[in-house]
Amino acid sequence: MLSVVAAGCGASDVEVPVPRPPASIVSLCRAFHDRLPQRLHGLKRRSTSPRSDLVTAWGSPAIVVRCGVTRPVGLHKTSELAVINGINWLPVPPDRPVTFTAVGRHAYVEVTVPPKYTPPGDVLNELTTAIKATVPANSDATL
């Protein structure tokens, strides 16, 4: 699970580890980043540290999106997924999720939604258009 650290309060940068996917995934993630809204769930975008086209954050506490993360450890063929607007999401932990990973696509997209923002499905729904437009589904039905 992602650990997000605010370097202070308010407008400071959100410290987020940057994924290191292969170049083919980086290009998908850059296109995804370019499609992300300036406001998510009514919250303004925040700067991240280090700066990267693979990481975006909004609000305080920060909702964080990372594109190109590695396959989630808990993802199995029998994993219980949440389907929101046609996107399959792996919630972690399953009973009170804070981190959701879009699966079954050419790049894994991880979204950390602090408990303050409920229901988290609203946040995920706002991201589906950008995911569908830039990160194609796997044609071979793999997770």
pLDDT by residue (tens digit) across 38-49? Answer: 999 999 999 999
- How large a percentage of the chain has pLDDT more than 90? 83
Q: Is residue 7 very low, low, confident or very high in pLDDT (cuts 50, 70, 90)?
A: very low
**Helices and strands (H and E) in the chain: how many:** 2, 11
* E-assigned strand segments in 24-121: 39-40, 43-46, 48-49, 55-58, 63-69, 82-84, 87-92, 99-103, 108-112
Question: Residue 98 CB: number of other CB atoms within 10 A?
Answer: 16
DSSP character at residue 128: H
- Residue-wise pLDDT tens digits, 62-82: 999 999 999 999 999 999 999
- Whether the Cβ atoms of residue 99 and residue 92 lie closer than 8 Å to each other: yes
pLDDT band at 6, cuts 50/70/90?
very low
> What is the average pLDDT score of the chain?
91
